[in-house]
Amino acid sequence: MTAALDFSLPPGLSANEPPEARGMPRDAVRLMVSRGEAEPSHHHFSDLPGLLDPGDLIVVNNSATLPAAVRLDRLAVHFSTVRPDGTWLVELRRRTGKGSEPYGGGEPGEWLPMPGRATLRLVGRETPRLWRAVLDQDVEAYLRVHGVPIRYSYVERDWPIEAYQTVFATVPGSAEMPSAARPFTVELVTALVARGIGIAPITLHTGVASAEKDEPPYAERYEVPASTARLVNLTRENGGRVVAAGTTVVRALETAAGADGRVAASEGWTGHIVTPEAGVRAVTGLITGLHEPRSSHLLMLTAIAGEAALGRAYHEALRKGYLWHEFGDTHLILK
């Protein structure tokens, strides 16, 4: 990680509530635009139709957020990802006054009593942070009754699950919201389509992030449907831009792309990590939030924007007081 992206994030720049709680519609959050060597420009998200051209395509993640956190007396269990064998990856966290923090305890074979007379059995560690575990009930049905959205300490209180869904959310499965698409509204989607800008879905179910210590993403379930693959290829052939709404979309499309950038229908698990060395083949633009210093997401952004342009954009975002995290402001990167 370069010095340009190894910055200090002032606590006051963490968005601690949804913009609606600040009296704003979702699409009123700020939008910074980076275009190569040009100085970043500043807009609102509702300006997006005018910042793209007819014939461009926005690819969105239609994964819906689960109420994936279950609180016990002293611990919280964050359900992350269902595995092919039916076990779940879970993170154990110690409850604190404002939220939770990593908990390093637990033993293989240990049973945790859960609300609703359920039990969770820890099978074994998957990573230093994540356990493979089995709940003695259907997990998604259980979460709908006993779960709440995952919340980190920079968000000061709970918000309903609706605050963590995007307008595209139709396929339940994400532990944390694919937040780059949160500012889209029905009205904004209508304006984009009316201008001739296409919108196409992929599905990628996000796992739990590591708020305290950034780690590379682990394998996640995804699907790129044939209709979306066809639209991506047609857009590129016709000279349009393929703009991913979120890093999850980049990950899915780049997994499904061949060496020539053509995307094929694809589904399964992806461990693909986009780095400046690997580069991008299918994506020519990205809508994203502002990311933590030294986070692995910044490597993906560097692959799209270039190191100098990204460093310039983050300097500008800090100077202008942009807000970070899932309820914060946004960044459009165009190659």
The predicted-structure confidence for 21-79, as pLDDT tens digits, reads as follows 999 999 999 999 999 889 999 999 999 999 999 999 999 999 999 999 999 999 999 99
pLDDT tens digits, residue range 292-310? Answer: 888 888 989 999 999 999 9
- Side-chain half-sphere CA neighbours of 168 within 13 A: 27
Distance of alpha carbon 45 from alpha carbon 181, whole angstroms? 10
* pLDDT at site 172: 96
Lowest mean pLDDT among 48-57, 195-204, 212-221, 278-287: 212-221
Nearest to 292 by CA among 317, 271, 272, 312: 317
Lowest mean pLDDT among 32-41, 92-101, 170-179: 92-101
Distance of alpha carbon 34 from alpha carbon 40, whole angstroms? 5
Distance of alpha carbon 240 from alpha carbon 56, whole angstroms? 5
Distance of alpha carbon 244 from alpha carbon 204, whole angstroms? 13
Give the percent of the chain with pLDDT over 90. Answer: 86
Distance of alpha carbon 73 from alpha carbon 78, whole angstroms? 14
Whether the pLDDT of residue 153 is over 90: the answer is no
Where do the CATH 3.40.1780.10 domains begin and end in the chain? Answer: 3-65+161-334
pLDDT tens digits, residue range 223-255? Answer: 999 999 999 999 999 999 999 999 999 999 999
Tell me the pTM: 0.94
User: Cβ of 93: how many Cβ atoms within 10 Å?
Assistant: 23
Instruction: Provide the angle, in degrees to the nearest 10, between the axes of the packed helices 247-256 and 297-305.
Output: 70
Cβ atoms 199, 189 nearer than 8 A: yes
Distance of alpha carbon 127 from alpha carbon 248, whole angstroms? 21
Ramachandran category for residue 18: left, alpha or beta (phi over 0 → left; psi -120 to 50 → alpha): beta
Provide the token pair at 283.
């994506």
Residues 3-65+161-334, CATH architecture: 3-Layer(aba) Sandwich (3.40)
Kindly report the length of the chain: 335
Whether the pLDDT of residue 222 is over 80: the answer is yes
Mean pLDDT value across residues 203-224:
82
pLDDT tens digits, residue range 79-93? Answer: 999 999 999 999 999
CA distance to 10, 135, 199, 286, per residue, from 67 (Å): 29, 15, 27, 27
Confidence of residue 169 (pLDDT cuts 50, 70, 90): very high
Instruction: Provide the angle, in degrees to the nearest 10, between the axes of the packed helices 297-305 and 307-320.
Output: 110
Nearest to 208 by CA among 199, 197, 220: 220
Nearest to 165 by CA among 327, 280, 298, 301: 327
User: Taking all residues of the chain, what is their mean pLDDT, rounded to a whole number?
Assistant: 94
Buried b (16+ CB within 10 A) or exposed e, 232-250: bbebbeeebbbbbbbbbbb
What amino acid is encoded at 217 in this protein? P
The CA radius of gyration of the chain, in Å to the nearest whole number, is: 20
